[in-house]
Copies of this chain bind each other. A is one copy, B any other.
Amino acid sequence: MFRRVLIANRGEIAQRVIRACRELGIETVAVYSSADADALYLRQADETICIGPPQSAKSYLDIPAIIAAAEVADADAIHPGYGFLAENDHFAEVCRSCKINFIGPTPEVIAALGDKVRARELARKAGVPIVPGSDGAVEDEKKALEVAQQIGYPIMIKAAAGGGGRGMRVARNEPSLVASFHQASSEAKAAFGDGTVYLEKFVENPRHIEVQILADEHGNIVHLGERDCSVQRRHQKLIEESPSPSLTPELRARICEAAVRVVREANYTNAGTVEFLLARDGSFYFIEVNARIQVEHTVTEMVTGLDLIQQQLLIASGERLAFKQEDVRWSGHAIECRINAEDPEKDFQPSPGKIELFVPPGGPGVRLDSHCYSGYRIPPNYDSMIGKLLVHRSTRDAAVRTMLRALDEFVIEGPKTTIPLHGSILRHSDFRAGDHDTGFVERYYGSHPAIPVKEPR
């Protein structure tokens, strides 16, 4: 096992990794930008090193600074968290060349899965259904029109290097396809320095289902079931849950097994997630593999009782998985609400600044992962997520009720947050019936979500 792990991240995930390390008896080195110098979680680390100014490019994205910190602090492994350098194959490569363990898949696997065209190819080889589309990059509009002819409208245009909804367009006819093709390509070029796009059949109102995987370095792979992340706004997940209310046991078995086949084909190691679209008719399609721990890994932790960050550390240090697929047990229902410092009434604009009073909810079935506290100042430099509120109860209905009371208890004075929006979504009849899809939030809570006044209980 590692002796000393450097955490190349900030906020709640940095705290999350520190917690896992402490419980395993591993020393921690927390790096931070000067904007995060006051963060309380830094006190829980054995060593802290300021690596740069607030701008991410000069701190949390600055590879030489992070490697230098690891060398100075004599860390034998680096946990990248999510975001920042988590899926940067060059960073993983530099770690390797510096003889520092990168806690995640190999650089080669990250690179292969980071390219959506190559990832689709992998899924195809694994015999996993993919959304019908171009076999790889589409060079020009003529080719685009040909492909569209074959697979039929509506068509989704996607950036090969994309993510977070950028470089994505839907076209419902030929003129729209031509326009969208060029828009998507130049948007991708601007955002990722790579204008390569590909086409896919656009699945209307799908559910977002993803499967959590653990794979050790000895060929053992287990899945930990699915998460349903259909409550999204502009491709940003807001609420995640497990199990999905829309999977039958038979469908769950097929989709989880498909996920295992994909990561086996990719020679994947460590924790990862295979994402699928689930159509209304029960057919599912591979989208991509997230070659890192995800924000919502916590949902799976609740229903399986496993600590995924500890598992990452164990796997990266070369240990074998201590359990087999048949040993995994699921119980109850877990829901996560992402609490963002954003103003849902002002088109979700970030609302950083000082938290005057922070009173988290507690009691039975409630978990909070947050680095915030009364008096904490949310820096304007990073993303707006300030906490993940989770509940775990025996049934979905009980979990929703517990989440509603937890949201009501949660006091955050100062910044605006997504707490009222979550309350509204959880009271929505479509959500309560489990009958919602990835279009749900835009449909009911568009750019000016009319958050209904709280109903009497």
Q: Which listed residue, B365, B367, B401, touches A366 by the CB 8 Å rule?
A: B367
Roughly how many angstroms separate A374 CA and B373 CA in the complex, as a whole number?
9
Q: Which of A76-84, A276-284, A353-361, A441-449 forms part of the interface with chain B?
A: A353-361
Q: A364-B301, A408-B44 are in contact. Are A25 and B374 (CB under 8 A)?
A: no
Q: Are A364 and B307 in contact (CB under 8 A)?
A: yes
Roughly how many angstroms separate A394 CA and B331 CA in the complex, as a whole number?
13
Q: Which listed residue, B298, B364, B370, touches A364 by the CB 8 Å rule?
A: B298
Q: Does A332 sit at the interface, judged by CB under 8 A? A: yes
Which residues from chain B contact A358 at a C-beta distance below 8 Å?
374
Q: Does A328 sit at the interface, judged by CB under 8 A? A: no
Q: Does A165 sit at the interface, judged by CB under 8 A? A: no
Q: A298-B364, A331-B305, A370-B362 are in contact. Are A405 and B22 (CB under 8 A)?
A: yes
Q: Which listed residue, B19, B398, B409, touches A405 by the CB 8 Å rule?
A: B19
Interface range for A: 35 or more
Q: Are A405 and B368 in contact (CB under 8 A)?
A: no
Q: Which listed residue, B44, B301, B364, B373, touches A357 by the CB 8 Å rule?
A: B373
Q: Are B375 and A44 in contact (CB under 8 A)?
A: no
Q: Which listed residue, B44, B362, B375, B402, touches A23 by the CB 8 Å rule?
A: B402
Which residues from chain B contact A360 at a C-beta distance below 8 Å?
360, 362
Closest chain B residue to A309 by CB distance?
B364
Roughly how many angstroms separate A107 CA and B320 CA in the complex, as a whole number?
58
Which residues from chain B contact A15 at a C-beta distance below 8 Å?
363
Q: A362-B368, A363-B16 are in contact. Are A457 and B25 (CB under 8 A)?
A: yes
Q: Does A1 sit at the interface, judged by CB under 8 A? A: no
Which residues from chain B contact A44 at a C-beta distance below 8 Å?
405, 408-409
With both chains docked as a complex, state the minimum distance between the C-beta of A107 and any C-beta of chain B, in angstroms: 29
Q: Give 18 pairs: A residue, B residue, CB < 8 Å, sorted on A.
A: A22-B405, A22-B457, A25-B457, A27-B457, A40-B359, A40-B411, A305-B331, A305-B394, A307-B365, A357-B374, A357-B375, A359-B373, A360-B360, A362-B367, A364-B367, A366-B367, A373-B374, A373-B411
Considering the complex of A and B, which 8 residue pairs feature the smallest CB-CB distances, nearest first?
A374-B374, A22-B405, A359-B373, A362-B368, A23-B401, A19-B363, A301-B364, A363-B369
